[in-house]
Amino acid sequence: MSPIDGLLYGLGIAMSWQNLFAAFLGALAGTAIGVLPGLGPVAGIAMILPMTFAFDPIAGLIMMAGIYYGAMYGGSTTAILINMPGESASVMTAIDGYKLTQKGRAGAVLCLVAVGSFIGGTVSVVGVMLFSPLLAQFGLLFGPAEFFALLAGGLLVLSRISGGTPAGGLFPMAIGLLLSTIGLEAVTGQNRFTFGINELSDGVQLVAMVVGLYGVAEIMSLVESPTKNVRPLGVKLREMMPTRQEWRRSMAPFFRGTVVGFLFGLLPGPSASLSSFASYRLEKAVSKHRAEIGQGAVEGVVGPETANNAAATTSMVPLLALGIPFGSVTALMLAAMMVHGVQPGPMLITQHPEIFWGVIASMLIGNVMLLILNVPMISIWVSLLRIPHYIFLPLILIMAFVGAYSVNNSVVDLYVLVLLGVVGYVLHMFHFQLAPMVVGLVLGPEIEKHLREGLFMSQGDLSLFYTSPIAIGIWIVVALVMTAGLQRKLFRLILGNLSRKTVLENEE
């Protein structure tokens, strides 16, 4: 079906009462999670992941998507009001947002941010609608060799670009791959590395791992260094109407932020955070009021916030069309799809069009809900900031244990939860990245499956994996990304040698 027909089909699915409720609940919970300092969208989705299993796959994914783009908006509230970003994508928002609050323009800025988030998210939905089917059609050309290159190469790329040193991503990725080998082996039916524990025959449970790594570890980090409760200023409804000049100055950043966010959402890495930084730098370079940015300018708030919401929406394209998560949140959504028995990738649009188009259409509805919810409810979100940590942290911990246990009613899952919570805390303390570990556990069985399928088809001939043109192209891109640091050093070395050679020639 065409993109327009697909969107209409998806709207029919997303408008059911259950899916509308899931979108509303996700947007509401996501905004609350973003508002509370220290709880970002990853920890929030990890906590609520077990709840989504009570819904059908479509409603569960709609709810998680709502949490993601809701948290993108909610994080801006704390950044603007108390100079404390709710999540990493709102770091740039705090620079000018808090200065505008000190000038008495908090309400107007929050209104502009809500409108910018709506514009960025809505326009990106149209892009997702157009790009995903094209990418999925290309993915139908893939066989075992191409899928192995895509999954294994994508895992390597994610470990490299997720931040920090190469070892900071590769080491957790290796742990995730090792954990993926635990349990019943698919071909021979033999148990591997279960150590006589029958509950491990099904492998390490993804929900227990995710909630432990992100939820329990995050709580431990917050307890270790609790943030000081800052009493935010009150915001009245009548103060939320921007002036004509503020509207005029926001129009161009709305457009530029949407374009930047859409492009960054298609790339690997923490797209929401990167697009926010890129948009802020762009505004400082091209804005007519660039001299004011950093001292309290609406361009420095509207541009980055529009960009990170656009990127959050567009990041669904690689997940839905290729089955490759380019970030922590999409990795969790991939995990949820696998638990529900849905295999994301090029065949998703043909095998499960209701999921593909339903999730895309729900993002359009969810952005409208966010706009309607957040403008009149600013005072409620402000009151959430007054809740002390010693009240809501124990509640979150209880929810984590109940959620992890309820999936399989297994005490072993609770042991895994606690163990991986400690592991996640230690890895986070030493600045290791946790997303490659989750993606390693999720993609490990798929990588093994495509490797063995390819070896079976070629009767053990490894040349199958490096003679396919598509596979060769993927491995070239992977090699370029993995050696990016070395390339920069060589480039600087060559430039330095050329500069010295030029100086010597001039002296002669």
How far is CA 497 from its chain centroid? 41
501 and 472 fall within a common domain: yes
168 and 81 fall within a common domain: yes
CA gap 252, 259 in Å, rounded: 11
CB atoms within 10 A of CB 153: 20
369 and 482 fall within a common domain: no
Please say whether the dihedral angle defined by the alpha carbons of residues 365, 366, 371 and 377, taken in this order, is positive or negative.
positive
Three-class SS state of 191: strand
From residue 445, give the alpha-carbon distance in Å to each of 152, 231, 366.
11, 48, 33
- Say what the pLDDT of residue 163 is: 57
From residue 8, give the alpha-carbon distance in Å to each of 12, 24, 118, 354.
6, 20, 20, 11
458 and 476 fall within a common domain: no
One-letter identity of residue 463: S
Angle between helices 299-314 and 57-82 (to 10 degrees): 160
257 and 298 fall within a common domain: yes
- Say what the pLDDT of residue 165 is: 72
CA gap 9, 280 in Å, rounded: 37
- Say what the pLDDT of residue 228 is: 47
What are the beta bridge partners of residue 192? Answer: 183
369 and 473 fall within a common domain: no
DSSP conformation class of 294: T
Segment holding 503, helix H or strand E: helix 484-507
346 and 478 fall within a common domain: no
User: What is this structure's pTM?
Assistant: 0.66
CA gap 42, 218 in Å, rounded: 10
CB atoms within 10 A of CB 432: 24
CA angle, 319 then 39 then 218, to 5°: 95
- Say what the pLDDT of residue 233 is: 54
- Say what the pLDDT of residue 82 is: 66
331 and 456 fall within a common domain: yes
Residue 284 is encoded by which pair of tokens?
């400082």
459 and 474 fall within a common domain: no
CA angle, 168 then 169 then 171, to 5°: 75
444 and 472 fall within a common domain: no
Q: What's the domain count of the chain? A: 2
CA gap 12, 105 in Å, rounded: 40
Residue 120 is encoded by which pair of tokens?
């960025």
| Segments forming the whole domain that contains residue 478 | 468-508
Output the 3-class SS for 193-261.
CCCCCHHHHHCCCHHHHHHHHHHHHHHHHHHHCCCCCCCCCCCCHHHHCCCHHHHHHHHHHHHHHHHHH
Q: Answer whether 83's CB lies under 8 Å from 94's CB.
A: yes
Task: Return per-residue pLDDT of the chain as tens, 508 residues.
Answer: 677 777 788 888 888 888 888 888 888 888 877 776 556 666 667 777 777 777 787 888 888 888 877 777 776 776 777 666 555 566 677 777 878 877 877 778 888 888 888 888 888 878 777 776 776 666 667 778 887 887 788 778 767 765 567 777 788 888 888 888 888 776 667 788 888 777 777 778 777 777 787 777 777 877 776 554 445 555 555 556 778 888 888 888 889 888 888 887 776 555 676 688 788 878 887 888 777 877 778 888 888 888 888 887 787 777 777 777 766 677 777 777 777 777 777 777 777 788 888 888 888 888 788 777 776 676 676 666 666 667 767 877 777 787 677 667 778 888 888 888 888 888 878 878 777 787 788 778 778 888 888 888 888 788 888 788 888 888 888 888 777 777 778 888 887 777 777 766 666 6
217 and 276 fall within a common domain: yes
CA gap 220, 149 in Å, rounded: 37
Give the torsion through C-alpha atoms of 31, 32, 33, 36, to 10 deg: 120
From residue 116, give the alpha-carbon distance in Å to each of 217, 299, 447, 468.
33, 11, 40, 44
| CA-closest candidate to residue 182, choices 209, 201, 210 | 201
What are the beta bridge partners of residue 191? Answer: 184
285 and 326 fall within a common domain: yes
